[in-house]
Structure 1
Amino acid sequence: MTTALSRPRAARFATFMFFGLNGFGMGMWVVHIPNVERATGISHSTLGALLLVLGGAAFAGMQVAGPLADRLGHRRLVPAAGIFLGLSLCGPGFANSWWTLGLALALFGFGNGAIDVGMNAHAVVVERAYPRPIMAAFHAMWSIGGAIAAVIGAATLGAGVPTGVTLTCTGALCLLLSLVSARFLMEPSDAPAPAGSPETPRPARRRPPGKTVWLLGLLALALMLSEGVANDWAALHMEKVLGTSASTAALAYGAFAVAMTTGRFLTDRVAAWAGPAAIVRYGAALAAAGLTTAAAAPWVPLSLVGWALFGLGLSGGVPQLFTAAGNLDTRASGALMARVVGLGYVGLLAGPALIGGLTRWMPLNVTFAVPVVLCVLAAVFAGVLSPKPQPAEQPVCS
């Protein structure tokens, strides 16, 4: 068993590196946004529009990288995306106008989207070579990378290190580790095909499982939209609705983020016992109950408990959806995952904007009914992850 797992273990470590690097790179960009805004002299509204450019470019990168992963292989696509991300990360630090920042963010977003799909598709391959689920731990590593970026970014900002220098060093680290980790990656042919996945040679024209992949994508959109709401509105809810100070309000997002990261480290063990459908079903139900508690609670401690339950409930669902998409058809796993990851990313971007628009007509805590309903719907349709029984083999009559 040790010999059989030596290569998957190396590939698992390399995949951890890519997830951590992606989270670290994104985190370093986020903590330097105020500096970049001041350096370019743009307004808040212009920055908001340019962030939409970043999001749109990321979605485009996902759709391009998915089919390329199937065609070129993961050992080529994933390191190339990591190198592209590292090189593009330098751009925002040296932008001096709105159009140079827009160009830099378009390149950075494209690289981020490409590596997002590539590393998730590779993670599915590595998981197939393991005797147990490991997907959620990769996503936890992304969160760890972001947390490390927050600490290091705060230190460099406090020391007065120029933004361009910090982001360039971060990009160089992404480039170097992408090159070092490339040799340890696996191809889909290196792992056993999942039960029920086509293993026949690639036909001239294939028909991917369209209905299932779109349903998985809609579930990812629902769960990641809910996650986006917590990212942007948790602290503001505590401050505006419960009347807390800014420092106390920050605990709301902290409770959510810590619970989500912890849950992702625990999810794989639970999924091995209960199955992916149960993770999504009961996790989404717990998330709905948690957000309802956070929104309705009149006391700060109870609201913090609600935000923590919301994060814990959401922690394991998306990794299960990505795994299911990548295993629908191993010959087209990259293209299929691009759809699911892309729809999820749309939800992540759309959630905060949707809630912001609804606050024009209703109180902030009432708008949280939208993600609550989406979580309930995710729990209802989680059965799409249940394995379908294989038809019994018909006896051959002589």
Structure 2
Amino acid sequence: AIFKQTITFEQDIPREKRRMRIAVALFYFCLGLCFSSWASRIPDIKTRLHLGDAAFGSILFALPVAQFLMMTFSGKLVTQYGSRKMLLFALPLYTICLSNIGLVTHGWQLAVALFLFGLSGNVCNISMNTQGVAAEKLYKRPIMASFHGGWSLAGFTGALIGLAMINLKVAPYTHFWIVILVVWIIVWRNNKYLVPFQSTSNQEEPRRKFFSRPDSTLLQLGIIGFCSMASEGAMFDWSGIYFKDIVKAPSSLVILGYT
């Protein structure tokens, strides 16, 4: 009975709303595919640059620092210009920053590339999740988990693509551009279906402070988010290196550490 009700409900949803949901999910997939492509080649890039663990760890710190610094500005940009416009602006920049990572020849260049990758990625994240919230409001039921599922699926897909590229001895730069072209095609075919911008700002509202002290509930949520992201970041950044340097897995299987 539940299955029949679900089918009936989906059939009752206008085609435009379904198309918006698919488009938003595909943009989640694109963002996850770009990030997983970088993560899948971390061991190769570390080896190519001849970096030790301490130096490489310091360089990797550039990405979360950029994301943290951009967080407040991303929200303001999305509020002012709309999530659709900012997503279509930031995602192409994100892909270009990914390609730059494949070109680096020195540690400082990698730090700069990751910093820019983090800046554009944060704008993409805020814009994309705002699109997810807007699509969820159109559906009038919880569907956000399906969008994040698209990001997770992209993680596995990116790892499998990375595994194939490593086995074929494809350089990271070429690998990244293959992924970028796929992402651009998806964006080109689906950008018109994103949820349109609906301004919720009120010109008569008092000007908000740049920084407000968080209450205890928000602070607790922030601590939980910090701990979860710290463990997730360690897994993303170091699992492949662990498989390569400690486990001594063959190069063709190192990527499995990421999955």
Q: TM-score interval w.r.t. the shorter chain? A: 0.7 to 0.9
Alignment of 1:1-398 (within 5 A): 5-187=14-196, 189=198, 201-207=202-208, 215-216=217-218, 218-223=220-225, 225-226=227-228, 228-229=230-231, 232=234
Cα distance in 2, alignment partners of residues 132 and 93 from structure 1: 41
CA contact (8 A) 2:28 2:128 kept: yes
Q: RMSD of the alignment, in Å? A: 3.1
Change (3 A) 1:221 1:142: farther
Taking the aligned partners of 2:248 and 2:19, their CA distance within structure 1 comes to: 44
Secondary structure class of the residue paired with 1:81: helix
| Residue type at the aligned position of 2:113 | A
Deviations 1:168-210 (A, max 9, x none): 22223333323332211113539xxxxxxxx7843252559x6
The structural deviation recorded for 1:69 is 1.0
Distance 1:115 1:97, change over 3 A: same
| 8 Å contact from structure 2 (residues 79, 201) kept in 1 | no
TM-score (norm: length of structure 1): 0.52
Cα shift at 1:65? 2.0
Q: Distance in 2 between matches of 1:177 and 1:90?
A: 17
Q: How many residues align?
A: 231
Unaligned runs of 5+ in 1: 191-198, 237-244, 248-253, 259-398
What CA distance in whole angstroms lies between the structure 1 residues aligned with 2:113 and 2:190?
Answer: 26
Percent of aligned positions that are identical: 23
Report the more deviating stretch, 24-33 or 167-176.
167-176
Q: Deviations over 1:314-373 (max 9, x none)?
A: xxxxxxxxxxxxxxxxxxxxxxxxxxxxxxxxxxxxxxxxxxxxxxxxxxxxxxxxxxxx
Shift of 1:43: 1.9
Relative distance call for 1:152 and 1:137 in structure 2 (3 A) is same
| 2:169 alignment partner, SS class | coil
Q: Do the aligned residues in 2 keep the contact of 1:87 with 1:175 (CA within 8 Å)?
A: no
SS in 2 for 1:95: coil
In 2 relative to 1, CA 221–170 (structure 1 residues): closer, same or farther, beyond 3 Å? farther
Unaligned segments of structure 2, at least 5 residues: 1-8, 239-246, 250-255
Shift of 1:221: 3.6
Residue identity opposite 2:181 in structure 1: A
In structure 1, distance between residues paired with 2:21 and 2:126: 16
Q: 1:214, 1:79 → 2: CA distance?
A: 35
Structure 1 pair 214–176 and aligned structure 2 pair: CA distance change class (3 A): farther
Checking the alignment, whether the CA contact within 8 Å between 1:82 and 1:174 is kept in structure 2 is no
Cα 1:217–1:175 change in 2 (3 A) is: farther
Cα 1:246–1:164 change in 2 (3 A) is closer
2-side partners of 1:162 and 1:38: how far apart?
Answer: 13
One-letter identity of the residue aligned with 1:26: F
Larger radius of gyration: 1
| DSSP-derived class of the 2:58 partner | helix
Does 1 or 2 have the higher relative contact order (CA < 8 Å, sep 6+)? 2
Residues 17 and 216 of structure 1: CA distance in aligned 2, closer, same or farther (over 3 Å): farther
